[in-house]
A and B are shown apart, each in its own frame.
Chain A
Amino acid sequence: GENVEQHPSTLSVQEGDSAVIKCTYSDSASNYFPWYKQELGKGPQLIIDIRSNVGEKKDQRIAVTLNKTAKHFSLHITETQPEDSAVYFCAAFAPLTFGGGTRVLVKP
């Protein structure tokens, strides 16, 4: 089955800096890669996704890149704000297989 690895497990950044989270997957058949943000006491919230026919996608301060040859994809958050503090999960489909999560702390 699919195996998704996510790094780093924790990430501390200063407000205004950028944050980068990296994931690798094992199944070359996977072709849909969503990213989720989970805040305390809440379920995961979809923040951005990318399909295998696209190399990069951007939505305001969030961007995701995909390298299918190397089987890795990354989440980039620019101009981080305190409300970006949460746990972020990458995933590969199907079925949805999650990485171990990255706890992001944005220090004011």
Chain B
Amino acid sequence: KAGVTQTPRYLIKTRGQQVTLSCSPISGHRSVSWYQQTPGQGLQFLFEYFSETQRNKGNFPGRFSGRQFSNSRSEMNVSTLELGDSALYLCASSLDGQLNQPQHFGDGTRLSIL
């Protein structure tokens, strides 16, 4: 069974640009969550999607948004990029995102802002 796939693996952007990251969950998983990982702040929850609807949201500005498609694939968009957005962005999927459901992570997209 294929794992969680994130594309691209690496991305370099400049301040003010926008970026879209993609995540394909494990087959059969309907919940997709996004996390930001930085050396200073650690792993922080961005948002969770289930059945094409955002179900939970972390404490990030509105520049961070996402969506989920009918096949459960998800995209994350960051607009007006800032230097502080440089991070590893991780996607995790689970069967339905409910309590006690293990989340499985992809290897992330490393975003560098120049």
Which residues of A are in contact with B by a Cβ distance under 8 Å? 31-32, 34, 36, 41-46, 49, 51, 89, 93-101
Stretch from B66-74, B79-87, B105-113 at the A interface: B105-113
How far apart are the CA atoms of A79 and B12 in the complex, in Å? Answer: 42
The one of A41, A46, A101 in contact with B103, judged by C-beta atoms closer than 8 angstroms, is A46
Complex interface: chain A residues within 8 A of B44 (CB): 98
Pair B99/A31 contact, Cβ less than 8 Å = yes
Given contacts A32-B99, A43-B90, A89-B43, A95 and B58 within 8 Å (CB-CB)? yes
The one of A42, A98, A101 in contact with B107, judged by C-beta atoms closer than 8 angstroms, is A42
CB distance from A46 to the nearest CB of B (A): 5
CB distance from B67 to the nearest CB of A (A): 18
Pair A43/B42 contact, Cβ less than 8 Å = no
How far apart are the CA atoms of A98 and B85 in the complex, in Å? Answer: 19
Pair A96/B45 contact, Cβ less than 8 Å = yes
Q: Is B33 an interface residue (CB 8 A)?
A: yes
Q: What are the 4 A-B residue pairs with the smallest beta carbon separation, nearest first? A: A43-B105, A98-B43, A43-B107, A44-B105
- Closest residue of chain A to B57 (Cβ to Cβ) is A95
13 A-B contacts (beta carbon < 8 Å): A43-B4, A43-B90, A43-B107, A43-B108, A46-B102, A51-B100, A89-B43, A93-B100, A95-B33, A96-B45, A96-B92, A99-B42, A101-B43
CB distance from B104 to the nearest CB of A (A): 6
Complex interface: chain A residues within 8 A of B42 (CB): 98-101
Q: Is B56 an interface residue (CB 8 A)?
A: yes
CB distance from B97 to the nearest CB of A (A): 8
